[in-house]
């Protein structure tokens, strides 16, 4: 039983799927060298016709993956920075996502987009610190934000096997997390199935990605005083509404914490759906980045813009009032 | 698919008459949203596809009816698509700008200019990897030459020596913008900058287009990489049928007349006997009458299935109201 | 007093601002010919150094507008189709939006992006029928969705004069609307100020863009039975939360109807903010496009995916139960 | 700004020592997030900026410290920016990859490869329209040549004959990707395809770079349009300081040694007297000691102002929790 690191989990998922299915291939920048660790060793093992170091042309190789998918491949794309999803938004949202319906079901586009180190990486500042998973939730592209190495493995495997495009965000804030698991026990995690990291009876805290660990710390801190259920959706789209309904039925209270901007973020969606379809005994609260947030460079400013443990504690205490 | 001189004429006649029929159906309201007519450019699609093998692939554009018919789709099912029927190529889900026919090697029209080129590169990459010997032809207009993603695609195809034929349909305009005001340099010069062999040919002469394509295709099949073929052509009609409703004076009558003198059907028609020509015309007329009947009597899709095929995995999307 | 059409209103706003301020210029495709009617006559009046017909290079000319703005210009960009906002998402969300903060306030980027005919245009299908205003709300780019010619005029004027980037959606579904106004009476409409099209006491219906007119028709239909207040935010970002709070204080009930996809759309944001910060006497409801909607071509399918009057009536009656 | 041989050396020495200092501050943790060191490429930034006038503009890249210093920013305020201080060029909001100094004509570094080129084109368009006679130099790496938006920008600059200097810093690699595996054709060939005059020069010789730039700049000022200058150079250090933490074997020691033989400081240093050289070295040492003192004693920004300047209009954004 060895400690599994987050990057190793992604690396193993890729390796296992490439061994299992010759259609799986990887495109990206510097993936031969494995700079982001996710692709370490894959070039040597599978060769350059399955591990393709691409030039700095994200838009072209993102659409190239579509063409390869139309011809039977299952490409995985690694993006070095989250904002490359802005650059390739047309290719993902307007091309890959729409092809199945537009062709009347003639084709599917099983492409997986992986962003290792999404969200703030201290010091990378404005254009390298985005966490745009809510954008893909809005356009309807399947979106996973694993909080742990085990889920990172299981969700990447499921993403690769899925018939549709899937974006997987590996939050920089979760990259240091390690799991005590027997790597032989790792298995696929279905898209759309939440995970209760900690059961509780007073309030449901829906936490996304690295913030799951903040939520768990807060739950510990409040232990005895408030019984917090920590609910990790694992995929923000599709979202496990049934699982959340069960949790809310138990607690009747809701707080969300996630690292996307406030307006039209996943926090808003969770509160909206719960208010429309479930019953709460107290008004819900969400903790997010501010509206329109741009992360400033200086560390104390960067931190000030991100959701914090303190904000979560206050929110929980407010809904318990 | 190798075609005789008469066969080439027949294919072009099919497209010409299909497009005329489509215009009537736009006016009658049977085709909603209008079309980008291909009339005048038939020699490009037919010439290129005549040099391709059955198993070869193409990607198409917003002005794509000609490409789809030239590659071999059933005109009746194409017309059913344009009229939004369940029997259409895309089950009525795609329409004029998204027609696709995987069975015929048509990976799809694309409503975003330039967007199909890198998709074609990906298909060619997969084909090369699988050793299929397939060639992928990607059509785009002169305006497409200004889309960054298409230029990126030229680089990838050249770097990896992929079997892609970049077919530039230079019809002189991107909507109202003349080529000279939109393009610094030339189509061939851009390809050559990436080390891609490029030629400019008379896009009104189907045999010239076919021969140029055949040469590039055999190079590509030999593993010698991509090629670009710039076809000088002209659309006799509007950019889009909406143009019938608004006055746009970006072309002179003289210019239009000048090009009409070089009608690809007249040029190719002159190479076959009057009898062959008359027979082809008659056959097409009958074929399209049948296609129209088929399309207009085909069932419309059931609104309950509006989101069918949204997710290939079969996942159902939440409705717009709980 | 002449009937003012929606395209004429946009055209007049542009013309007035170009006359008022020599820094205002326009970039776009076929704007010399004025295909979309918004720029009709401007080339002749202001010349080709202020009305610039651009090649088919949206990404370059969208960033070109940033450079021009940094040098004192106030560019307006016309996009022919809504999905061009996907293609230029990097240039708008990652460049124009972030420059003021990233430079510590050294620069501003007063660029306006206009999309005449946003949303579904019958028969244009999958890649030409998007309504992505919620995406810009999420990233924090100011976003206007005028429902009437008068507001189209006033909001475009304010957008052009604003120091920040602003996206203005002119819904295809509102393009045929005409206003009875004295064109001399037209004036700027501040960003972030809602408009109550019809006062009511039972329920607040927040309607966006062309759906404002559907909401008004429904309000008429229910007149006598249910008193509906029709609230048009006019800009979805910034949103007039104070105005909405006043309306909710009066009605205590909320229904939203808008044309964006369901998850993480503006409807979710409105419900979330109202539930967190205001008091409702009944659970709210929203009417939207489905999750991940792609508009199919066939007219009856296209219609089936868009929010309808019937859905609004049902939603209103449900919250009144 | 015209510089003597000694002046050119001094500017390069400033950048070299500034970058060495920055490396120390990365190790000490005073600079958070690391840097993309410019060490080895000094002749490009200094040579280009030496041929520009005060009023001319530049855009920069992720590897931008050299450009900013060469164009004339205060090293102390640049260092304050890198250490996240309120006294920094961007008030600590931008950092290494976003340094901007409008007062010095620096429109900003850009963390997105290729993204600055069209911004430079827009600035040049505005300048041309205002008749300022300004020239805009836009720096980018060999990797930037593969960004579609940069290729689109070449077309716009060429079409409208805008005063833009496209400066390609070809240091042989895009992170770990060698130029030959990433670029089909050449930098100059791509520019020429758009009708843009292009030259390749020794990017290790500051005077050669300056002269090539001066020629292109005077052409641009005359209204004869853009030019591209490809500078063959090399980074002596890592792509990014994170490389110190991971083993990447994409370059041989021989190759690195070979280029170190052509250190731009040695080349230019050989053109001035030992006395001039010693004096410049001493001045820079003193200047940077003062810069370090200034930066490290400057106040850090107040977290309460984390979203200051988010909206130039002064609009306040809602907080992340109500
Ligand atoms: C990226 C993009 N920009 C703009 C449009 C709107 N549009 C559709 S066709 C067209 C002109 C295309 O010109 P060209 O590529 O020469 O093809 P042609 O219409 O002449 O066949 C434009 C601007 C689009 N569909 N996609
Ligand atoms: C569009 C984009 N893709 C990827 C990255 C990540 N990245 C930063 S620098 C770099 C390499 C750039 O190479 P080059 O343009 O040659 O500049 P150099 O680093 O050699 O100076 C990459 C891939 C980025 N910042 N922007
Ligand atoms: Mg054209
Ligand atoms: Mg480089």
The predicted pLDDT at position A1 comes to 57
* CA C279 – CA D172 distance, rounded (Å): 63
Which residue of the set C128, C197, C210, C213 is catalytic?
C128
What is the nearest CA distance from C98 to chain D, expressed in angstroms?
7
For residue D2, what pLDDT is reported?
Answer: 82
Which chain A residues are within 8 Å of D307, Cβ to Cβ? 290, 293-294, 296, 305
Q: How far is C287 from chain B (nearest CA, A)?
A: 5
D149 with B148: Cβ contact below 8 A:
yes
Query: Does the model's ipTM exceed the 0.90 cut?
Result: yes
Entry pTM = 0.98
Per-residue model confidence (pLDDT) at position B2: 82
State the DSSP string of D47-59. HHHHTS-TT-EEE
Nearest by CB: D184 against B146, B149, B195: B195
pLDDT score of A2 more than 90:
no
Q: For chain C, list residues with pLDDT below 70.
A: 1
A281 reaches B (C-beta below 8 A): no
The CA dihedral of A295, A301, A305, A310, to the nearest 10 degrees, is 150
What part of D 121-180 touches C (C-beta under 8 Å)?
121-127, 129-130, 136, 148-149, 152-153, 155-156, 159
Percent with pLDDT over 70 in chain A: 100
Chains contacting B (3 or more CB pairs within 8 Å): A, C, D
C300: which chain B residues are within 8 Å (Cβ-Cβ)?
84, 300-301, 303, 306
Q: How far away is chain A from the Cα of B247, in angstroms, using its nearest Cα?
A: 31
What pLDDT is stored for residue D107 in this prediction?
A: 98
Chain segment D274-292, per-residue pLDDT in tens: 999 999 999 999 999 999 9
Mean pLDDT for the stretch of residues A23-40: 96
D206-221 and D42-50 are packed helices; what angle lies between their axes, rounded to 10 degrees? 40
Interface residue A242 vs chain B (CB under 8 A): no
**According to the 3-state scheme, what is the secondary structure of chain A?**
CEEEEHHHHHHHHHHHHHHHCCCEEEEECCCCCCCCCCCCCHHHHHCCCCEEECCCCHHHHHHHHHHHHHCCCEEEEECCCCCHHHHCHHHHHHHHCCHHHHCCCCCCCCCEEEEEEECCCCCCCCCCCCCCHHHHHHHCCEEECCCCHHHHHHHHHHHHHCCCCEEEEEEHHHCCCEEEECHHHCCCCCCCCCEEEECCCCEEEEECCCHHHHHHHHHHHHCCCCCEEEEECCEEECCCHHHHHHHHHHHCCEEEECCCCCCCCHHHHHHHHHHHHCCCCCCCEEECCCCCCCCCCCHHHHHHHCCCHHHHHHHHHHHHC
**What is the chain D residue with the closest CA to C50?**
D129
Instruction: Please tell me the predicted confidence (pLDDT) of residue C183.
Output: 86
Residue B22 CA to ligand 3 center (angstroms) comes to: 20
CA-nearest residue to B36 within chain C is C124
Q: How high is the mean pLDDT of chain B? A: 97
Q: Which of A60, A65, A102 sits opposite B152 (nearest CB)?
A: A60
Q: Is A272 on the interface with B (CB under 8 A)?
A: no
Please write the tens of the pLDDT for every residue from B102-145: 999 999 999 999 999 999 999 999 999 999 999 999 999 999 99
Average pLDDT over residues D215-232: 98
User: For D44-82, what is each residue's pLDDT tens digit?
Assistant: 999 999 999 999 999 999 999 999 999 999 999 999 999
Closest-CA distance, C41 to chain A, in angstroms, reads 32
Pocket of ligand 1 from Cβ distances under 6 Å: B 62-63, 111-113, 141-144, 147, 169, 171, 173-175, 239; C 29, 56, 58, 80-81, 84, 87
Residue A59 is nearest to which of B148, B159, B312, comparing CB atoms?
Answer: B148
Contact assignment for C164 to D315 by CB distance below 8 Å: yes
Nearest CA in chain D to A81: D112
CA of C80 to the centre of ligand 1 (A): 10
In the prediction, which pLDDT does A240 show?
Answer: 98
3-state secondary structure chain C: CEEEEHHHHHHHHHHHHHHHCCCEEEEECCCCCCCCCCCCCHHHHHCCCCEEECCCCHHHHHHHHHHHHHCCCEEEEECCCCCHHHHCHHHHHHHHCCHHHHCCCCCCCCCEEEEEEECCCCCCCCCCCCCCHHHHHHHCCEEECCCCHHHHHHHHHHHHHCCCCEEEEEEHHHCCCEEEECHHHCCCCCCCCCEEEECCCCEEEEECCCHHHHHHHHHHHHCCCCCEEEEECCEEECCCHHHHHHHHHHHCCEEEECCCCCCCCHHHHHHHHHHHHCCCCCCCEEECCCCCCCCCCCHHHHHHHCCCHHHHHHHHHHHHC
Q: Decide if A128 is catalytic.
A: yes
pLDDT value of residue C1: 57
Residues of B with CB under 8 A from a CB of D: 146-152, 154-155, 158-159, 181-185, 189-190, 192-196
Q: What average pLDDT score do residues D25-34 get?
A: 98
Residues in B touching D185 (Cβ below 8 Å): 155, 158, 192-195
Q: Is the pLDDT of residue A61 over 90?
A: yes
Q: Is beta strand C178-181 parallel, antiparallel or unpaired with respect to C2-5?
A: antiparallel
Q: CB-based contact (8 Å) between C95 and chain D?
A: yes
First-to-final CA distance of chain C? 44
Confidence of residue B247 (pLDDT cuts 50, 70, 90): confident
């Amino acid at each position: 039983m060895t400690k599994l690191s987050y990057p190793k989990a992604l690396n193993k998922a890729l390796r296992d799927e490439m061994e299992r299915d010759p259609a799986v291939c990887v495109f990206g920048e510097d993936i031969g060298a494995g700079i982001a660790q996710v692709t370490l060793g894959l070039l040597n093992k599978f060769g350059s016709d399955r591990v393709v170091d691409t030039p700095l042309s994200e838009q072209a190789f993102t659409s190239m993956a579509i063409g390869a998918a139309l011809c039977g491949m299952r490409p995985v794309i690694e993006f070095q920075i989250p904002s490359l999803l802005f650059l390739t938004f047309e290719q993902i949202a307007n091309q890959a996502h729409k092809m199945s319906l537009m062709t009347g079901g003639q084709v599917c586009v099983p492409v997986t987009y992986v962003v290792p180190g999404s969200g703030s990486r201290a010091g990378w500042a404005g254009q390298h610190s985005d966490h745009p998973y809510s954008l893909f939730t809005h356009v309807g592209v399947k979106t996973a934000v694993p909080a742990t190495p085990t889920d990172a493995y299981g969700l990447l495997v499921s993403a690769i096997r899925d018939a549709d495009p899937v974006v997987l965000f590996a939050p920089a804030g979760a990259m240091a997390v390690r799991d005590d698991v027997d790597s032989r026990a790792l298995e696929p995690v279905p898209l759309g199935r939440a995970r209760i990291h900690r059961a509780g009876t007073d309030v449901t805290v829906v936490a996304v990605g690295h913030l799951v660990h903040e939520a768990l710390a807060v739950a510990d801190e409040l232990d005895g005083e408030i019984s917090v259920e920590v609910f990790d959706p694992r995929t923000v789209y599709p979202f496990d509404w049934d699982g959340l309904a069960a949790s809310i039925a138990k607690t009747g209270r809701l707080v969300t914490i996630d690292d996307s901007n406030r307006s039209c973020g996943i926090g808003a969606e969770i509160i909206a759906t719960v208010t429309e379809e479930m019953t709460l005994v107290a008004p819900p609260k969400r903790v997010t980045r501010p509206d329109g947030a741009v992360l400033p460079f200086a560390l104390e400013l960067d931190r000030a813009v991100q959701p914090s443990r303190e904000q979560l504690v206050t929110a929980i205490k407010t809904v318990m009032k | 698919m190798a075609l005789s001189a008469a066969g080439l004429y027949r294919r072009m006649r099919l497209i010409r008459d299909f497009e005329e029929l489509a215009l009537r159906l736009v006016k009658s309201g049977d085709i909603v949203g209008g079309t980008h007519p291909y009339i005048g450019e038939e020699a490009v699609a037919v010439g290129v596809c005549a040099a391709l093998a059955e198993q070869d692939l193409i990607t198409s554009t917003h002005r794509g009816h000609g490409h789809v018919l030239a590659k071999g789709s059933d005109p009746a099912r194409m017309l059913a698509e344009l009229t939004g029927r369940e029997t259409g190529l895309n089950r009525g889900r795609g329409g004029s700008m998204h027609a696709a026919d995987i069975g015929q090697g048509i990976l799809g029209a694309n409503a975003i200019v330039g967007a199909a080129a890198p998709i074609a590169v990906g298909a060619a990459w997969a084909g090369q990897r699988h050793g299929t010997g397939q060639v992928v032809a990607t059509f785009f207009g002169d305006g497409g030459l200004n889309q960054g993603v298409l230029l990126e695609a030229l680089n990838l195809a050249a770097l990896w020596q992929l079997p892609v034929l970049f077919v530039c349909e230079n019809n002189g305009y991107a909507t109202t913008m003349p080529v000279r005001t939109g393009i610094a340099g030339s189509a061939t010069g851009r390809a050559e900058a990436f080390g891609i062999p490029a030629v400019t040919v008379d896009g009104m002469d189907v045999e010239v287009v076919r021969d140029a394509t055949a040469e590039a295709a055999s190079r590509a099949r030999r593993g010698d990489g991509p090629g670009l073929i710039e076809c000088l052509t002209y659309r006799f009609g509007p950019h889009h049928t909406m143009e019938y409703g608004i006055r746009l004076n970006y072309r002179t009558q003289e210019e239009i007349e000048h090009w009409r003198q070089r009608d690809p059907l007249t040029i190719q028609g002159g190479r076959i006997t009057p009898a062959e020509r008359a027979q082809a015309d008659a056959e097409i007329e009958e074929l399209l009458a049948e296609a129209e009947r088929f399309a207009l009597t085909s069932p419309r899709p059931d609104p309950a299935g509006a989101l069918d095929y949204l997710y290939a995995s079969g996942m159902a999307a939440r409705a717009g109201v709980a």
